[in-house]
């Protein structure tokens, strides 16, 4: 049986969502009566075996957050505008990876430190240095981190913007004799570790890096700018392998960015399918993170939302998230059109 998505209150003519208490007849889009409201209500009552609870009975006015863990709907109990909640599906959480707890952006402190100039003046120079590294040490190993926090209950990825020209994740290539994880931590500290008084105020526990899952591997078959998320079958000697790791951020942390760079918090919806701006590697991050279930925590360490199916107590997600400049970018006056790292600097090669 078809039920229209909207009803019209004949008393004031204002459209309201179907299922609200004290409604009138069910109408189609042309205003024709499909059936009387009471008839519709009785049929629904017989179908479910009992009358659905009202909003008051469900405790909508209690002010407490209720999260529907079992439903796949993104609309929570606090946001429902219907007396007839959706039918609960069977559990759909098999083989699900662990939940990731995300802390609010306001929990973190951001500062700046001395400028870190780029090692190479051009893409050709970078590829030339890659060729020299390969001749001496073999395939180059590059590690980059995906740092995730949240703003308005939506995941944001922390990334660097260099000279208003291109974006890249924190990290870099490893020295030939360096251990993978320890060498990666050294690279993260070079980019984001605080200095001076900020470093002294940070505890030793929060100063360390929690390196999580490997989310992706990108391969460079030749001394070219192109990288692929697979190794072509005919390639037996790749020139570089770049690994992307999930970095588990603690509850609080101090991060400092070089003055010639900007540290940005970019929402996932901004990255998704946006290869023109961010390139294929960064625009694929929403795909990489989609396997996780996120728990959004407020400044008081309380879970305020989860995905799927979370929202704030008033049933909304607040303001629309957008990219935020957190630190850095001093001396950069003119805002130019930005491009992805893959497009401008050869996939962020170092």
Q: Give the pLDDT band of residue 27 (cuts 50, 70, 90).
A: low
Residue 279 CB-density burial (10 A; 0-12 exposed, 13-18 middle, 19+ buried): buried
Chain mean position to CA 13: 41
Residue 79: which pLDDT band, with cuts at 50, 70 and 90?
low
Predicted local confidence at residue 304, as pLDDT? 86
What pLDDT does residue 61 have? 41
pLDDT for the residue numbered 196: 81
Task: Look over the chain and give the mean of its residue pLDDT values, rounded to a whole number.
Answer: 77
- pLDDT confidence band for 77 (50 / 70 / 90): low
Percent of the chain clearing pLDDT 70 (strictly above): 64
Digit-coded pLDDT (tens) for 287-309: 999 999 999 999 998 888 887 65
**pLDDT band at 76; cut points 50, 70, 90:** low
Range list of H helices, 30-104: 37-48
Q: Dig out the tokens for 264 from the structure.
A: 């940005």
Q: Model confidence at 80, in pLDDT bands (50, 70, 90)?
A: low
- Which residues have C-beta within 8 Å of that of residue 63, sequence separation ≥ 6? 313
Highest mean pLDDT among 39-53, 68-82, 156-170 belongs to 156-170
pLDDT of amino acid 65: 42
Mean pLDDT across 88-98: 82
pLDDT for 280: 96
CB 264 within 8 A of CB 326: yes
pTM score, whole prediction: 0.68
Q: How far apart are CA 214 and CA 27, in angstroms?
A: 53
Q: What is the mean pLDDT of residues 98-111?
A: 93
- From CA 6, how far away is CA 203, in angstroms rounded? 55
Lowest mean pLDDT among 23-27, 68-72, 135-139, 157-161: 68-72
| Burial environment of residue 145 by CB neighbours within 10 A (0 to 12, 13 to 18, 19 or more) | buried
Class of domain 100-344: alpha beta
> What is each CA distance from 305 to 65, 78, 212, in whole angstroms?
9, 11, 22
Domain ranges of the chain: 6-79, 100-344
pLDDT of residue 338: 42
**Cα→Cα distances 223→126, 169, 269, 299, 340, Å:** 10, 21, 32, 47, 19
pLDDT digits (tens, 9 = 90+) for 201-227: 777 656 789 999 999 999 999 999 999
Render pLDDT for 227-250 as a digit per residue (tens, 0 to 9). 999 999 999 999 999 999 999 999
């Amino acid at each position: 049986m078809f039920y229209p998505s909207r009803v019209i209150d004949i008393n004031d003519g204002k459209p309201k969502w179907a299922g609200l208490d004290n409604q009138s007849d069910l109408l189609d889009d042309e205003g024709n009566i499909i059936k009387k409201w009471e008839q519709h209500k009785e049929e629904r009552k017989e179908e479910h075996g009992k009358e659905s609870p009202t909003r008051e009975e469900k405790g909508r006015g209690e002010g407490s957050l209720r999260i529907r863990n079992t439903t796949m709907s993104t609309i929570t109990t606090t946001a429902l505008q219907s007396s007839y909640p959706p039918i609960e599906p069977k559990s759909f959480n098999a083989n699900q990876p662990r939940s990731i707890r995300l802390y609010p952006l306001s929990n973190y402190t951001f500062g700046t430190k001395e400028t870190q100039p780029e090692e190479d003046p051009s893409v050709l120079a970078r590829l030339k240095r890659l060729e020299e590294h390969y001749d001496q040490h073999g395939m180059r190993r590059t590690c980059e981190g995906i740092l995730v926090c949240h703003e308005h209950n939506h995941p944001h990825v922390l990334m660097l913007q260099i000279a208003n020209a291109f974006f890249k994740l924190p990290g870099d290539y490893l020295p030939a004799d360096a251990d993978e994880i320890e060498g990666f931590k050294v690279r993260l500290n070079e980019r984001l570790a605080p200095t001076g008084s900020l470093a002294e105020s940070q505890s030793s526990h929060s100063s360390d890096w929690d390196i999580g899952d490997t989310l992706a591997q990108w391969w460079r078959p030749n001394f070219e700018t192109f990288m692929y998320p697979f190794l072509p079958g005919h390639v037996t000697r790749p020139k570089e392998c770049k690994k992307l790791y999930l970095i588990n951020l603690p509850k609080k942390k101090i991060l400092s960015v070089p003055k010639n760079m900007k540290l940005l918090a970019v929402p996932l919806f901004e990255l998704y399918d946006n290869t023109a701006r961010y390139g294929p590697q960064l625009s694929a991050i929403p795909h990489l993170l989609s396997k996780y279930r996120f728990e959004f925590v407020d400044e008081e360490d309380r879970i305020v939302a989860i995905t799927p199916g979370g929202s704030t107590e008033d049933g909304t997600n607040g303001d629309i998230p957008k990219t935020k400049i957190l630190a850095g970018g001093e001396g950069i006056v003119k805002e130019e059109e930005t491009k992805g790292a893959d497009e401008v600097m050869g996939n962020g090669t170092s």
